[in-house]
Chain A
Amino acid sequence: MEIPYTVKARPDTGLYNAKVGLWLFLASEVMLFGGLFSSYVLLRVGAPGGLWPRGWLNIPLGTLNTILLISSSITITFAWAALKSNQFGRFKVFLGTTLLLAITFLGIKSFEYRDKLSHYQVTLNSGQVVDGHLVERTADHLVLHGVEADSPKAFLDRRSREFRQLQHEEFKLATAEVKKVEAYKPRMNTYLALYWTMTGLHALHLVGGILVMGYFWGPGSRMWHTAPEHFTNRIEIAGLYWHFVDLVWVFLFPVLYLL
């Protein structure tokens, strides 16, 4: 007793089971990220005073990551195409490349995360605000490499001319002068909260994808020799999912990095 239509399409719907399942799953994913994006819009539109951070992320890195993800999306298509034309060797190469690209993406992402965790905004008792990366922190002083301004508002738009004219230097701040030390963690403000949550959830989707593709590349690929069509279908499904992950990023990138 086998469940029908796992390999061949059902004639009247023209689809095999996993494809129906995956598209349904993607529909729910659309609603999941949709919920987050609509929160983003709402919180941004309703931000007090219309103030919203801009240019807080590294655009070249973001662009690079976008390119990596797009490329991985193409390579997985090629992997599937290779199976379709019966070239198992090529399949291994392309799926392997996809995996490497995906892992590189995560590597860059975690570098960006690390960078944010070592980035601090320090409010002094005088009202001055220093913003920069932590160089050193001891019981009685802090050393930051960054910029200084009268109010945190100066750091809001980092792509403005005013901000770019600020001098980067090293600040040594005595603990006694310091009123508040804040890292660029999710709690700092709504923008960062959204950034961490949305990219975090997206990264989790990547991790899931990598695990599955890793399985298909490694032990799972034995199935090619017993049930090639079924295996090809699975790669197609994996590809669909992966394109979706790419698609989400295509929106995350401008929304978080550029605007």
Chain B
Amino acid sequence: MQTAIQSMPHGAAHAEPHAEPGFLRQYVFSTDHKVVGIQYGLTALIFLLFGFFLMLTMRWQIAHPGQPVPVVGPLLEAVLGQVAKGGMMSPDLYNSFGAMHGTIMVFLAIVPLAVGAFGNYLVPLQIGAIDMAFPRLNMTSYQFYFLGGIIMFASFFIPGGAAQAGWTSYPPLANAIPTDGQTFWLLGMVFLITSSLLGSVNIIATIIQLRAPGMTWMRLPFFVWAQFVASFLLLLAFPPLEAAGVMQLMDKVAGTSFFLPTGLAVGGAVGQASGGGSPLLWQHLFWFLAHPEVYVLILPALGIIAEIIANNTRKPLWGYKTLVYAALALGFISFIVWAHHMYLTGMGTTIATFFQTTTMLISVPSVIILTCLLISLWGGSIRFNTPMLFASAFLPMFGIGGLTGLPLGFSYSDIHLHDTYYVIGHFHYVVAPGTIFALFAGIYFWFPKVTGRVMNEFWGRVHFWGSLIFMNVVFMPMFVQGLSGMLRRMSDGGATYALRPDVHELNRVILWGAVCLALAQIPFIINFFYSIARGPRVTSDNPWNATTLEWQTPTPPGHGNFDKPIQVYRGPYEYSVPGASKDFTPQNELPAKA
């Protein structure tokens, strides 16, 4: 329904092209996909930093249980009061921070950055469209996202603080905690989900409908395919969680028992519940989303990496079609593996066999994608600029993350590894040195197009090496901890369990790794803002000598994107074509003999 209204062309604004739109119209309530993309990007980067800050505080606390957190501790006490008494994080606060770190990173930082920012900005450009199919809807989806973010952020300051039941929000715990944080979380999620749904409708419709003449499906850059699949995952996997969110909200505010079984005996509200519900139902609905969601985190990242590798090896991607089919297969299978997060909730042989099989199946397209990317390097002429550094580091980092998914994917080994730091290590390798590296690569790569200026190469390299080294210092020890049995979500860092002391000692190593990782971000942040204002201007619209359409626009692209009508003649990665005059042939360049 929404769609119908929003599809109204924003005619009025364009009718008289000379009237400059006001500041608000241009930057805040803009319907231009590029502005919306930038809004998404900046908001998400701030959340990314905030999510990291939460985790730094937590890491400090668990490396030094029972001691006040320096610098941040007193601040927390001043702002949040009792929960940070004496500058120490109480378990409640630890749980809040943990739950919100997960939520913020996934729903407010990475997805908005990968799909909201990169997708919004690049998809119309890369397919040769003048804007998204539904520009007003696009603006609305950012606004929903922003509101959701505000609600999540505000929940830190309500009495009792933010949600404490993990990003997974398993009931009955989520209901049993007698504060309103969970209610805020659920409300925030409803907004975020709505935003994602609107956004993905828009991206899919844009890709289907607005491809420029000649831009056939098999000429789409891989990035566009990745966005296409990711948007489908959002579109179809999120609604069940929205339904579940509404039900949990009812449990919380209307006293129903969708997820509360008969015979609960927790003090307070839950004890009054009528019962008859099922806690596992929530888990199914949650993971029905959350597994596809992790591929939403990784697919756009793979898309970015593919673009950058093709550009910087100066040769076509190897096995483009295979890549596309693998991405589609990945998307499809990701809907039927979700219960591998639930092996130990009590699962019989039949269902466990089913989910193990699908989990192993899904690793095959991942391996295929990675193999194609690796083989693409062979025979190239590799240019090691900052984007390429991040892109190449992505490959082994994702490899570690993906491979450690295998022992988790077998229910038998999951007995020992479930809910340990091994899991934390597994998925951080895919999302942190994986997706975040891809996003960094993307930022360095497309920065000249967006701002018309270039980021500093030297500081980019400093940022790269710092991040690469310290990401590994942070996450590699987690496998050791996990194998030795150390559990996640421990507000004391596992001190009450009989772990080997050296394993325990690793908490300090991780802490210092994380601190250094934070320091390594400073050159990036300064470089980023400095370059926006003062960076050297690009001399060409296509500084990387790239082939895809976004580089065939003015820099930065104006409203409407292209100067001239676009006609596409060839595939996306025509680099080093034998016999061509230069080593790249843009997609819209007229064929030599017409």
Contact = CB atoms under 8 A, between A and B. Distances in A.
Direct contact of A and B (CB under 8 A): yes
Contact of B256 (A1, A193, A208, A238): A193
B3 A237 contact: yes
Contacts of B134: 17-18, 21
Interface in A27-57: 27-36, 38-39, 42-43, 46-48
Contacts of A215: 5
B281 A28 contact: no
Contact of B254 (A31, A186, A234): A186
Scoring B5, B7, B247 by chain A CB atoms within 10 A of each residue's CB, the highest score goes to: B7
B290 to A, nearest CB: 14
Interface string B113-137: 0000000000000000111011101
Contacts of B244: 35, 39
A39 B4 contact: no
Question: Interface extent on A, as a size class?
Answer: 35 or more
Contact of B274 (A17, A32, A189): A189
A48 B260 CA distance: 13
Nearest to A205: B1
Contacts of B273: 187
A212 interface: yes
Given A5-B210, A43-B258, A187-B255, A238 B4 contact: yes
Given A28-B239, A190-B258, A42 B281 contact: yes
B4 A43 contact: no
Contacts of B456: none
Interface in B203-256: 204-205, 208-210, 235-244, 246-247, 250, 254-256
B278 interface: yes
Contact of A186 (B2, B255, B276): B255
Contacts of A38: 240
A186 B257 CA distance: 9
A167 B275 CA distance: 30
A193 B258 contact: yes
Contacts of B240: 31-32, 34-35, 38
Interface residues of B, number: 55
A6 B204 contact: no
A22 interface: yes
A88 B565 CA distance: 38
A15 interface: yes
B255 to A, nearest CB: 3
Contacts of A20: 133, 204-205, 208-209
Contacts of B3: 18, 21-22, 25, 237
Interface string B254-282: 11111000100000000001111110010
B276 A47 contact: yes
A197 B247 CA distance: 7
A8 B254 CA distance: 47
B542 to A, nearest CB: 23
B578 interface: no
A215 B209 CA distance: 27
A201 B246 CA distance: 9
6 contacts: A16-B209, A18-B7, A24-B200, A24-B201, A31-B236, A241-B1
Given A20-B208, A28-B238, A36-B243, 13 more contacts: A21-B134, A21-B201, A24-B205, A25-B2, A25-B197, A32-B240, A185-B254, A186-B255, A187-B255, A196-B254, A197-B256, A234-B7, A241-B1
